[in-house]
């Protein structure tokens, strides 16, 4: 790995998260505030670089302009110029006298040329770039907002969380619901004892596609042939640390005929670039549950069912996965279940009558006191002997929004609620499900969380820490 420290080296030298960080503590000891507010005052503007300005990245350009957007980076010329034009129009309409951000195709060049002019970066690239872009910023002491999942691999999640603590930078994962009250209420209800002890968690999503809504292809192999690379696309940079392959625009035949192959957005279904439905939605759906259940690590994960079309190139079209959580303090062991691509929990759990379909996305929990919707303020499902009373707030509420919360942390305020001490371990739990997919249906994966390794199927450990293409080492 280009003389980079290996996972074994990293763990051996004591970088395993312990104590509050490993437990997913909200405000971890030793990371109370950013050491040096940008510019020396909470009222001064952050100099921000946006890495990736399409899709979710485009949504961050506006908030970054509220600070001082000094650089934008994307692999598509047209997207860069379009963004630049919109910024110029905004400046002229609002009579803002500020230089336009500089443009880059490669975030490595951006950091080399403008590292001393930047306070913070926003990373909104395909998943396989998250760790590389974020780590380059962190090592230079820059604050980082990174879209979910935090990383492509489990090892990268551990590395980024450790690096953020070492360099004492303000961080935030882009799971925007973390700014809301729903997960806070879930924690407060569970911790008050009103819901009882959780035995099972069931979460499902419409990704990558259901009959009513198709998101992106999964369950296939790499199509043959090659198409001309668009003149404004820097394909080699888009590939980044992934294996080289020819550019392809759309499927010419087969079940995905006419669908885009790699971009935009449909890269999520490819092992080399994305993390599947779990990576897209898992960090949203389980962020609050992770905190509420005081999760450190799962001890095992199993692919219960899939559609039989998992390949070396792509995730299966649908899957059902089970995580085993050990006892955590006064909380007994429990199981977490994930369903995607049109798979759902048994009808009796949600008490859905025949003919009525479950909602496209949702989470419910089974406790020793009953069943509850848990994708917001908990609500009983069916019979419940008792009356839920909203507990007194014990978790600090977000005072602005998800992005501004990070900006405030970067200027010396309290840590953002989805800082990497939370996001790293959460991402590890989520991505563990992809190891189960690699293992195949029915093959239980026994997991040593502190040491980041599979203990019973050692061949799977090659997927804990991937090999990077030359020039893209972490």
pLDDT in tens, 55-75: 889 999 999 999 999 999 999
Closest residue by Cα to residue 147 from 428, 367, 404, 402:
402
Q: For residue 42, what pLDDT is reported?
A: 62
In a domain, 260, yes or no: no
Confidence of residue 43 (pLDDT cuts 50, 70, 90): low
350 to each of 7, 328, 363, how far by Cα in Å? Answer: 42, 27, 10
Strands 334-340, 198-204: parallel, antiparallel or unpaired by DSSP? parallel
Structural domains counted in the chain: 2
Q: What is the pLDDT of residue 387?
A: 87
Q: What is the pLDDT of residue 355?
A: 87
Say whether both 151 and 214 belong to one domain: no
Examine the domain organization and report whether 61 and 114 are in the same domain.
yes
pLDDT value at position 296? 96
- Going by pLDDT thresholds of 50, 70 and 90, the confidence category of residue 458 is very high
CATH number at residue 125: 3.40.50.720
Q: What is the mean pLDDT of residues 309-326?
A: 97
- If you average pLDDT over residues 330-343, what whole number do you get? 98
Verify that 347 and 450 share a domain, yes or no.
yes
**Shared-domain flag, residues 411 and 315:** no
How much is the pLDDT for 376?
Answer: 86
The kind and range of the H/E element at 26 are none
Are residues 200 and 79 located together in one domain of the fold? Answer: no
Question: How confident is residue 41, by pLDDT bands cut at 50, 70 and 90?
Answer: low
Global pTM value: 0.92
Average pLDDT, the chain: 91
Is position 233 within any domain?
A: no
**Averaged pLDDT, 21-46:** 45
Q: 317-356: string of b/e by CB count within 10 Å (b at 16+)?
A: bbbbbbbbbeeeeebeebbbbbbbbbbbbeeebbebeeee
Full residue range of the structural domain in which residue 14 is found: 7-179+398-418
pLDDT band for 385, please (50, 70, 90 cuts).
confident
Distance CA 323, CA 325 (A): 6
Please report how many Cα atoms fall inside a 13 Å half-sphere around the Cα of residue 38, on the Cβ side.
26
Q: What's the mean pLDDT in 450-474? A: 95
Q: Please state the φ and ψ torsions of residue 331, each to the nearest 5 degrees.
A: -95, 130
191 pLDDT band (50/70/90 cuts)?
A: very high
pLDDT tens digits for range 94-131: 999 999 999 999 999 999 999 999 999 999 999 999 99
| Interior angle at CA 282, CA 430 and CA 358, nearest 5 | 130
Same structural domain, 412 and 362: no
At 227-277, the pLDDT tens digits run: 999 999 999 999 999 999 999 999 999 999 999 999 999 999 999 999 999
- What pLDDT is stored for residue 386 in this prediction? 82
Same domain as 190, residue 95: no
Same domain membership, residue 187 and residue 302: yes
Q: How confident is the model at residue 2 (pLDDT cuts 50, 70, 90)?
A: very low
Residues 306 and 376 in one domain: yes
Q: What is the CATH number of the domain that holds 309?
A: 3.30.360.10
Q: Are residues 349 and 339 in the same domain?
A: yes
User: What's the pLDDT score for residue 357?
Assistant: 87
- Quickly state the pLDDT bin for 436 (edges 50, 70, 90): very high
Q: How many residues would you count in the chain? A: 474
């Amino acid at each position: 790995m280009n003389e980079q420290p290996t996972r074994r080296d990293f763990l051996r030298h004591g970088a395993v998260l312990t104590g509050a960080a490993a437990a997913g503590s909200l405000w971890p000891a030793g990371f109370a505030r950013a050491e040096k507010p940008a510019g020396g005052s909470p009222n001064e503007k952050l100099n921000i670089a946006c890495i990736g300005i399409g899709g979710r990245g485009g949504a961050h350009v506006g908030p970054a302009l509220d600070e001082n957007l000094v650089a934008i980076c994307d692999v598509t010329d047209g997207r860069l110029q379009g963004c630049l034009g919109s910024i110029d129009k905004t400046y002229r309409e609002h009579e803002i006298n500020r230089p336009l951000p500089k443009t880059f195709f490669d975030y490595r060049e951006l950091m080399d040329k403008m590292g001393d002019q930047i306070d913070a970066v926003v990373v909104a690239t395909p998943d396989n770039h998250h760790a590389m872009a974020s780590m380059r910023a962190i090592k230079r002491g820059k604050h980082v907002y990174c879209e979910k999942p935090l990383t492509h691999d489990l090892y990268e999640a551990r590395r980024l969380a450790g690096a953020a603590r070492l360099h004492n930078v303000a961080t935030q994962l882009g799971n925007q619901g973390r700014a809301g009250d729903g997960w806070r209420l879930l924690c407060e209800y569970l911790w008050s004892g009103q819901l009882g002890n959780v035995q099972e968690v069931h979460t499902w999503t419409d990704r990558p596609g259901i009959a009513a809504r198709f998101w992106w292809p999964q369950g296939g192999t790499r199509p043959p042939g090659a198409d001309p690379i668009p003149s404004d696309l820097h394909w080699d940079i888009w590939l980044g640390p992934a294996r080289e392959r020819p550019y392809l625009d759309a499927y010419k035949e087969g079940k995905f005929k006419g669908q885009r192959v790699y971009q935009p957005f449909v890269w999520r279904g490819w092992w080399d670039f994305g993390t599947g439905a779990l990576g897209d939605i898992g960090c949203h759906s389980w962020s609050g549950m992770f905190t509420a259940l005081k999760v450190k690590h799962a001890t095992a994960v199993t692919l219960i069912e899939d559609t039989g079309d998992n390949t070396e190139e792509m995730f299966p079209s649908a899957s059902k996965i089970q995580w085993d959580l050990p006892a955590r303090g006064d909380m007994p062991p429990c199981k977490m279940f994930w369903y995607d691509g049109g798979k759902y929990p048994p009808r009796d759990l949600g008490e859905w009558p025949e003919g009525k379909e479950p909602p496209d996305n949702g989470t419910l929990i089974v406790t020793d006191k009953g069943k509850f919707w848990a994708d917001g303020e908990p609500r009983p499902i069916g019979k419940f002997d008792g009356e839920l009373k909203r507990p007194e707030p014990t978790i600090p509420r977000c005072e602005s929004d998800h992005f501004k919360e990070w900006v405030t942390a970067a200027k010396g305020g309290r840590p953002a609620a989805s800082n990497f001490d939370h996001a790293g371990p959460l991402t590890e739990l989520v991505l563990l499900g992809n190891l189960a997919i690699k293992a195949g249906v029915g093959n239980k994966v026994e997991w040593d969380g502190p040491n980041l390794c599979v203990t019973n199927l050692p061949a799977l450990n090659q997927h804990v820490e991937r090999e990077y293409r030359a020039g893209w080492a972490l």
